[in-house]
Amino acid sequence: MNAQTALQAETGLVPDPDWWRGGVIYQIYPRSYQDSNGDGIGDLKGIAERLPYVASLGVDAIWISPFFKSPMKDFGYDVSDYCDIDPMFGTLADFDDLLAKAHALGVRVVIDLVLSHSSDQHPWFAESRTSRDNAKSDWYVWSDPKPDGTPPNNWLSIFGGSAWQWDARREQYYLHNFLSSQPDLNFHCADVQDALLDVTRFWLERGVDGFRLDTINFYIHDKQLRDNPPLPPEERNATIAPSVNPYNHQRHLYSKNQPENLVFLKRFRALLDQYQDRTCVGEVGDAQRGLEILGEYTSGGDKAHMCYAFELLEGAPLTAARVREVFDRVAEAAPDGWACWAYSNHDVQRHVSRWNLDDTATRTLANLIICLRGSVCFYQGEELGLPEADVPFEALQDPYGIEFWPEFKGRDGCRTPMVWDSQAENSGFGEGATWLPVSRDHAQLAVDKQLSDPASMLNHYRAVIALRRAHPVLAKGSISAMTVSGDLLTFQRELDGETVFCAFNMGQAVVGITLPSGNWQTIGAALGGIAPNKGQTELAGWQCCIARKLED
């Protein structure tokens, strides 16, 4: 038995260094997936308990949002120990058990790695702030004030206000792009990069299959600390709180997106390449240059494997014209890069509510994303068709929502507990009071009600994922001939001589389509797609046609 055969027999995984390309990743927000011990908060044992359900979806991997030790000011995105589990989620042994069970089921595990900043309670920061000449004095971004005592420049925090916090110990400001309790690490310091690569190696040695790199374009700041220029009002198109957050009034030319970041990403990729079948997906947080940065960071095969920007996570309705615009930009900015697409995640309003979708439109958009070139992330509960939950102000936990209420209600509405059993306490999430309220509206869409219904949204998502698995052309093929006519979007996917034609009616009115010359056979019937009739057919509102070209 060779090494690869042994790996497959031991873990249930099929060795494939290219598994991520076109793969389907299921995002789990650990606080809200399954509570195993009755404390109202989801945990690693709870995730492990639900892995058979995850595997039944047919996904290639799970992405677990942060579970490291943390004071939880930003719910795990403020790390105080990168190499241990926060007790509310369990132990390292619990993680090892989860990893082993996932691998046995053929599911890979991607974890969220937050490298741009740590918690202010991390020992590194505790030492750094003690003086200007200690061993870690330059591990964070420190600066003297201006002569008048004000911050060194005009950079703003995403969570509101200045990105600089005064520290009386050093009589200096430190940089925080997010909460003041999340100081930015100084990537211009070689020791910082080395320490973070050691953290990465720790989890690689533990057996994780990859990393979701939080705020990948925030790692490095301008050494000269130059002011950001203003952003014209007509360009203020941020996905999160675009109108109420002053952060969106700047073009973030110097506080992120620095060219030196490419050097670090090459170091990171070189480390991953020492291990079998590992990957990374970067979160590109930039409303104006997201796709351009995606292209830079995923080009050449020596940096990030894939990145996702926010073009399909935005508030404006997704139209045929918008899809064409995004893919035209991807073709220009990232011709040899790789995108990872998502409609929903833990940072944005669930897309069913954001775009005001009915059941038919929701299904058709699921069909669309699985046919687009790129990898795909589905967010927990998306497969149930969950809308955004209504969380009252007194129950809010998200500091973002608390800061900008009521114009922006924060991210808690997409983070409420998963619903498993419509008749059980807390819809099967766990016993007792929950960290966020379980939505009553969600209970009627619980897993138990959908499992046995062949026409349910859950079973539709299973069919969507199965279609991509059955046709590698949809996962890894090229995309071409994308056209738009009103609400009609058409394109072709090609790989190793196989051609698939895709047509999506993204509106209510009936539209006629004509397929390219040749003989075509539908492969999308299980998704509600219509079969072509002698190369011509009509699509009803929010209907699609997905057809494979037969050999002449």
What pLDDT, in 10s, does the model give residues 450-484?
A: 999 999 999 999 999 999 999 999 999 999 999 99
Closest by CA position to 173, among listed 139, 138, 144? 144
Write down the pTM of the prediction.
0.96
Do 337 and 384 share a domain, yes or no? yes
**Structural domain includes residue 182:** no
- Each residue of 506-524: pLDDT tens digit? 999 999 999 999 999 999 9
Token match 């992405």: residue?
63
Express each pLDDT in 249-276 by its tens digit.
Answer: 999 999 999 999 999 999 999 999 999 9
Is residue 388 within 8 A of residue 349, CB to CB? The reply is yes
Give domain status of residue 139, yes or no.
Answer: no
Which of 150, 96, 323, 310 lies closest to 215 in space, CA to CA? 310
**Does residue 95 surpass a pLDDT of 90?**
yes
Q: Which of 35, 78, 86, 214 is catalytic?
A: 214
Examine the domain organization and report whether 543 and 398 are in the same domain. Answer: no
When pLDDT is averaged across residues 71-84 and rounded to a whole number, the result is 97
SS3 call for 504: strand
> What is the total count of domains within the chain?
2
Distances (CA, A) of 494 to 294, 321, 324, 442: 23, 22, 18, 39
Range of the domain at 516: 475-550
pLDDT digits (tens, 9 = 90+) for 424-444: 999 999 999 999 999 999 999
> Residue 242's pLDDT is what?
60
Q: Is residue 4 part of a domain?
A: no
Q: Which two tokens stand for residue 454?
A: 């062949």
> Is 311 one of the catalytic residues?
no
Residues 235 and 292 in one domain: yes
Of 423, 446, 469, which residue constitutes the final position of a domain?
Answer: 469
* One domain for residues 49 and 97: yes
Same domain, 259 and 296: yes
- Residue 230, CA distances (Å) to 227, 233, 243, 249, 385 in order: 9, 9, 15, 6, 39
Sorted by sequence, the CB contacts under 8 Å of residue 153 that are 6+ apart come out as 164, 225, 226, 227, 228, 254
Q: Does residue 512 sit in helix, strand or coil? A: strand
Question: Is the confidence at residue 5, as pLDDT, over 60?
Answer: no
pLDDT at 241 over 60: no
pLDDT of residue 551: 83
10 Å Cβ neighbour count for 551?
Answer: 7
Is 49 noted as a catalytic residue in this protein? Answer: no
Catalytic entry in 184, 209, 283, 296: 283
Asked if 483 and 455 sit in the same domain, the reply is no
Query: Same domain for 460 and 501?
Result: no
On the CB side of 389, CA atoms within 13 Å amount to 28
**320 and 432, same domain (yes or no):** yes
pLDDT band of 2, cuts 50, 70, 90: very low
**Assigned domain for 360 exists:** yes
Asked if 279 and 420 sit in the same domain, the reply is yes
Q: Count the alpha carbons within 13 Å of 182 in the hemisphere toward its beta carbon.
A: 24
Residue 451, phi then psi, degrees to nearest 5: -60, -45
Q: In which region does residue 149 sit, left (phi positive, over 0), alpha (psi from -120 to 50) or beta (all else)? A: left
If you average pLDDT over every residue of the chain, what do you get? 95
Q: For residues 362 and 426, state if they share a domain.
A: yes
Q: Using CA atoms, how far apart are residues 80 and 135, in angstroms rounded to an integer?
A: 18
CB 20 within 8 A of CB 210: yes
Looking at the predicted structure, is the pLDDT value of residue 129 above 80? yes
pLDDT at 540 over 80: yes
